[in-house]
Amino acid sequence: MVIMTLSAAETAMWRLVQRYTGRVGYRRGAKVEGLLENPPVIDCSGWTGLLLTQAMCAENNAAGHIMFSDTHIRTMQACSDRIIQEIAVRTGYTLAGSEINACSLPRCATIGLKMGAPGWAANHPRVRGVTHIVQIVRRPEDDVPFVSESFGDPVRPGISLTSLADWLVRSQPLLQADALWAVDAFRLASAN
């Protein structure tokens, strides 16, 4: 077995995944405060935002200086399309549609998806039509990538974890339709 040394950010995200996967339900519009409800709930952008903000704070603490500014951290507390847009604009880096595969993705990419045109989005236009967001996380024991997300799936609603390989297979229709965008929030550290 290969033991990998993960960054403080990756370790922080994995701890959150271990703590909440399968234990937290989904509710659209529920952000981090929803974790205090009984039963706990969170939506996709609330979950991804929590993963990213905790990861950025962990990197700042480990480095002993500011790698991610308060502005960068606050940027992660938004709706799915805004998180993707802000990271893309601030880093100048985006992969789109068919450019996305297991080899091209950054280690801990954040991916926005255009998943149809839900009724609630009619009054809330979305940049690129992004209505869902997921986060790649890494298992410490073997560095295997997984996709962590909170989703309103009627069968398994809430926070789930799927291997990146399986998630990419399941996402082929969206990849072929150029309805996915990947960004790398950790490139924001170099912008500081």
- Express each pLDDT in 86-142 by its tens digit: 999 999 999 999 999 999 999 999 999 997 655 545 556 566 679 899 999 999 999
CA-based R_g, the chain, Å: 16
**The residue to which tokens 């502005």 are assigned:** 71
Let me know: does 128 contact 177? Beta carbons within 8 Å: no
**Top-confidence residue, 16 or 128:** 16
What is the 3-state composition of the chain as percent helix, strand, coil, each rounded to the nearest 5?
45, 15, 40
CA–CA separation, 65 vs 85, rounded Å?
Answer: 26
The pLDDT > 90 percentage for the chain reads: 82
State the maximum Cα–Cα separation within the chain, in Å, rounded to a whole number: 51
- Tell me the one-letter amino acid at 2: V
CA distances from 130 to 133, 134, 191 (A): 8, 11, 25
Beta strand segments in the chain, E:
95-96, 110-113, 132-138, 145-151, 158-163, 180-183
pTM given for the model: 0.91
Residue 3: pLDDT band with limits 50, 70, 90: very low
Q: Tell me what the mean pLDDT of segment 58-74 comes to.
A: 94
Output the pLDDT for position 5.
47
Output the pLDDT for position 50.
98
CA–CA separation, 67 vs 64, rounded Å?
Answer: 9
**Top-confidence residue, 146 or 122:** 146
Q: Tell me what the mean pLDDT of segment 157-171 comes to.
A: 96
Q: What is the DSSP letter of 155?
A: S
Cis peptide bond upstream of 39, omega within 30: yes
Output the pLDDT for position 155.
73
| Mean of pLDDT over the chain | 90
